[in-house]
Amino acid sequence: MPRVIVKAIFGDIRFKCQRCGSCCHHKRPAGFEDLIAQERLEEFWQKSNLIYLTAKDVSAISAKTELRPSDIVDTLYEYDGCYVKIEDAGGKLILDLPVMKSKEDTTCIFYRNGCTVYSVRPIACRLFPFRVEESALPNGDIVLNINYNPSCPGIGKGSIVDRKNLESLVVEQFMQRSRDVTPHIGRLAASGEISEGCRVFRAYPGRPEHKKD
């Protein structure tokens, strides 16, 4: 079984939220296709700022706001609660992980002079300005390095960040996402819908002009 290695890759750093809302703006970089190959993921994460959601996040926000999950999330494919899609007769396994919808000005749909779902905000929001950079080792182990966005106005202010707490949040997020994805992959593999040697892609969500039916 592959291991999951989680590590904050920065030294002592201070942070205090300035309530500026900068993290509530989505940044969708140009130059990427609808499907992002694994080898371009690091570049995508460095250039983007998207609020990724787990199924638990979606459920909590939906319950609080009484909105349907499809009214909350952006995905490449029509949202049906399944984050795994198959194309090319099983040759492509696509992880269509949902992100929070945003308004035309790029702000989160729940941002109105502050967060209106703060009590159930996603783990991704609780982590910001710290972000996870995922990579795989040759032996199959998964590495989740925690870095930070130096442009955040709160960096350098307040108390020294508790790195262990951050690592715990990242583990929680990873475990939730695994529960969202793994059963579907197992079902598709058991039914023979995934070809041997298939390539894995991440969907580039939230671009309505490129929505797929």
Type of residue at 163: R
pTM beyond 0.75: the answer is yes
Is 161's pLDDT higher than 80? yes
Report percent pLDDT > 90 for the chain. 53
pLDDT band at 36 (very low <50, low <70, confident <90, very high): very high
pLDDT in tens, 182-212: 999 999 999 999 998 899 999 998 754 554 4
Instruction: Output the pLDDT for position 207.
Output: 58
How is the chain split into domains, by residue range? 4-210
Q: Is 192 left (phi over 0), alpha (psi -120 to 50) or beta?
A: left
Instruction: Output the pLDDT for position 208.
Output: 46
- Pair of tokens at residue 85: 């899609």
d(CA 97, CA 55): 10
pLDDT band at 143 (very low <50, low <70, confident <90, very high): confident
Is 126's pLDDT higher than 50? yes
pLDDT in tens, 46-89: 788 889 999 999 999 999 999 999 999 999 999 999 999 999 99
Report percent pLDDT > 70 for the chain. 96
CB under 8 Å, gap of 24 or more: what pairs does 157-162 form?
157/14, 157/15, 157/16, 157/18, 158/14, 158/15, 158/16, 159/14, 159/15, 159/16, 160/12, 160/13, 160/14, 161/12, 161/13, 161/14, 161/15, 161/130
On whether the CB atoms of residues 40 and 60 are closer than 8 A, the answer is no
Instruction: Output the pLDDT for position 4.
Output: 86
Q: Is 76 left (phi over 0), alpha (psi -120 to 50) or beta?
A: alpha
d(CA 170, CA 179): 14
pLDDT in tens, 101-125: 999 888 999 999 889 999 999 999 9
| DSSP three-state, residue 206 | coil
- Pair of tokens at residue 8: 């904050």
